[in-house]
A and B are shown apart, each in its own frame.
Chain A
Amino acid sequence: MFGYEFMREAFIASTFIAITAGLVGVFVVSRNMSFLSHTLSEIGFAGASFGILVGISPLAGMILFTLVSSIAVGSLSSESSRREASISAISSLFIGLGILFLSLSSESSSYATNILFGSIVGISSKEVNQLMILALFVIFVFIIFYKPLSFDSFDHIGARAAGLKTRLLSIAFLVTLALSVSIGAQIVGSLLVFVLLTLPGATAKYVVHTVPKLIMVSVGLSLAGVWLGLYLAFVTNWPVTFFISAFEVIAYFLGLGYKNWKLNH
C-alpha cells in the first residue's frame, strides 16, 4: 500500500498526529479535561467551515477558533471552565455555527464530511509538512514544561503550594491542546479527534503508574490505533475513523478489565 503517494502521506501525518495526541492525552485525562477537549473539537469544526467560507485553509480556521476559545477558557477560573452545562451550551452553538458557515459557502458537502469524519485521501504533502511542524512545536512545548506541567496536572494543589505559576501552565497547556485538536482532526475528523486525545491516556492510567510510562503507553496505543486503522481502511475501504475508534475503545475496556482483575488478585 506504500506504493501510493497518498498512503505514504497519510501514514507520515498520522504518525505525528498519534504521537502528539497520545502525549497531550495523558495530561488531558489527568487534568480532567476530556469534556473540554470534546468541545474544542466541535469548535474546531466551526473553525474549519469558517476557513472554507472565507477562503483560508480549514486547518488555519480550526487553529484560529480553537486557540481563541482555549485562551478564553484559560482566563476563566478552572472551576468555571469545567462547568459541564455551560460547556455543552457553547459546543451546541459552535456546531450550529459550523453548519451555518458550510451552508453559506459554496463548497460541496463532501468537504463537510471530510472535516467531520476525517479522511485519509485528502492530505497533500504541503499539509503533511504543516502538520509536522505543528506537531513538533507541541512536543517541544511539552519538553520545556514537562516537570512543572506534570506537577500541576497530577497534583494541582501541591503545585500551587510549591509556588508554581499554575495559571501560566494552564494557558500553555490549553494552547497545545488547541493545536493538537486541529492537527488530529485532519485524519480522524473533528467529530472523533477527542477519541485520540482521551482514550489512550485514560487506558494508560489503568495499567501503569509513572508519568513517563503513562506517556509511553498512551503514545503506543495511539500509534497502534492509527496505523492499524490506516491499514484496515486501505484494505477494506471502510472509514479509517471507525477502525481507530473501535481499536481505542476495545483497548480502553481491556485496560479497565485488567485494572479490576488486578484489584481482586
Chain B
Amino acid sequence: MIEAKDLTKRFGQQLVFENLNFKINDGDFISLIGPNGSGKTTLVKILMGLEKKTSGELSFTKKQTIGYVPQFRNIDMDYPLDIEQFVRLNLKFTLSPSKRHEDDELIKNILQETKLTELKNRPLGLASGGEKQKAYLAQALLNDPKVLILDEATASLDVEVKMQLMDLVQELNQKYNLTVIFITHDYELTKKYTSRALFFKNKTIEEVHVNDVSEAMFEMGS
C-alpha cells in the first residue's frame, strides 16, 4: 500500500500541489488524471524517489519496487538492438552461470507474458508503436516490480493497439495483483480499465468515480 498524508511539493516559491491525501492499495488499477502541468509527473517522480517532497508524509507498507514506462523514448529507425536485447538491458551484471541461466528463463517468461516471443529478434527501431510499448513494458517488469507506472504510455497509439496494450496490463494486474498507476489523458481508457481515479484539481487531488471522468477534466483551468 502507498499512503500520502498532506503531501506538498514546491519548486522554490512555485507551488506544484499541496495537501495530497490518498491511499493506493496493492492490486489497484488507478488512473491519475488532470490537465497538463497539474503535477502528475512530479508526483510520480516523488513516488519513484527521483524528486524530493517538500512536506507531508509518504509511506509504503513494504519496500515497493517500481517499474516505470515513460511516454517518450529516443528510439529511431536506426536503433540497433533487437527487442530481446532491449529488454535485457535492465538485467543486473553477473558472471555466475546459474544466475545467467535464471536470467535467461526470466527473459523468456517476460517475453511470453508480454506476447513478444515471436518478435524478439526484430530490431526495436523497426517495431511498430504498440510493439515498442510492449518492449518498454517488458523491460520495466523485469525486476518483478510490485507497482507499475504507465506515464502516458498509450498516448501515441492507434485505438486498437491501445486496447491491446491495456488488455495486457489488465491481465498482469489481475494475475499478479500488480498495482498499476496509469497517467493518462484518455477518459475512455480510464473508464474502461481503471477501478479508481485520482483527479488533480486546484493544486490538490481528489478521488472521483471512474464513471464520472469526463473530457473536460483534462482541459486547462478545469
Which residues from chain A sit less than 8 Å from chain B, CB to CB?
30, 146-148, 150-151, 154-163, 204-206, 208-211, 214, 263
Is the CB–CB distance between A158 and B85 below 8 Å? no
Give 30 A-B contacts (CB < 8 Å), ordered by A residue.
A146-B93, A147-B92, A147-B93, A148-B93, A150-B89, A151-B90, A154-B80, A154-B86, A155-B86, A155-B139, A157-B74, A158-B70, A158-B89, A158-B90, A158-B139, A160-B50, A161-B140, A162-B68, A162-B90, A162-B143, A163-B50, A205-B78, A205-B80, A206-B80, A209-B85, A210-B82, A210-B85, A211-B81, A214-B80, A263-B126
Structural contact, A155 and B93, CB atoms closer than 8 A? no
Residue ranges of B at the interface with A (Cβ–Cβ < 8 Å): 48-50, 68, 70, 72-74, 78, 80-82, 85-86, 89-93, 121, 123, 126, 136, 139-140, 143
User: Cβ of B81 and Cβ of A209 under 8 Å apart?
Assistant: yes
Q: Is the CB of A157 within 8 A of B72?
A: yes
Question: How far, in angstroms, from A42 to B75 measured CA to CA in the complex?
Answer: 30
Q: How far is the CA of A211 from the CA of B93 in the complex (A)?
A: 14
CA distance A204 to B78 in the complex (A): 11
Q: How far does the alpha carbon of A148 sit from the alpha carbon of B82 in the complex, in Å? A: 18
Shortest C-beta distance, A255 to chain B (Å), equals 11
A163-B49 in contact (CB<8A): yes
User: Do A161 and B48 have beta carbons less than 8 Å apart?
Assistant: yes
Nearest B residue to A151, CB-CB:
B89
Which residues of B are found within 8 Å of A155, using beta-carbon distances?
73, 86, 89, 139
Nearest-neighbor residue (CB-CB) of A161 within chain B: B68
- Is the contact region of chain A dominated by helix, strand, or loop, or is it mixed? helix
A35 to chain B, nearest CB (A): 16
From residue B159, how far is it (CB to closest CB) to chain A in Å?
A: 25
| A158→B81 contact, CB < 8 A | no
How far does the alpha carbon of A209 sit from the alpha carbon of B79 in the complex, in Å? 9
A162 to chain B, nearest CB (A): 6
Q: Nearest chain-A residue to B70 (Cβ)?
A: A157
Residues of B within 8 A of A211 (CB): 81, 85
Which residues of the partner chain B approach A206 to less than 8 Å between Cβ atoms? 78, 80
B81 touches A154 (CB 8 A): yes
Q: Which residue of A lies closest to B49 (CB)?
A: A163
**Nearest chain B CB to A134's CB is how many angstroms away?**
24
Query: A158 near B74 (CB under 8 angstroms)?
Result: no
How many whole Å from B69's CB to the nearest CB in chain A? 8
Q: Which residue of A lies closest to B80 (CB)?
A: A205
Taking CB atoms, residues of chain A closer than 8 Å to B80 are 30, 154, 204-206, 208-209, 214
Kindly list chain B residues whose C-beta atoms are within 8 Å of the C-beta of A158: 70, 73, 89-90, 136, 139-140
Residue among A151, A155, A205 with the highest chain B CB neighbour number at 10 A: A155
Q: Which residues of A contact B93 (CB under 8 A)?
A: 146-148
Taking CB atoms, residues of chain A closer than 8 Å to B48 are 161, 163
With the chains together, A206 CA to B82 CA distance in Å?
A: 12
Given A157-B70, A158-B136, A161-B48: A209 and B82 within 8 A (CB)? yes
Q: How close is B208's CB to chain A, nearest CB, in angstroms?
A: 28
Which of B48, B49, B85 lies at the interface centre, i.e. has the most chain A CB atoms within 10 A of its CB?
B85
**Residue contact B140 to A154, C-beta cutoff 8 Å:** no
Of all chain A residues, which has the CB nearest B71?
Answer: A157
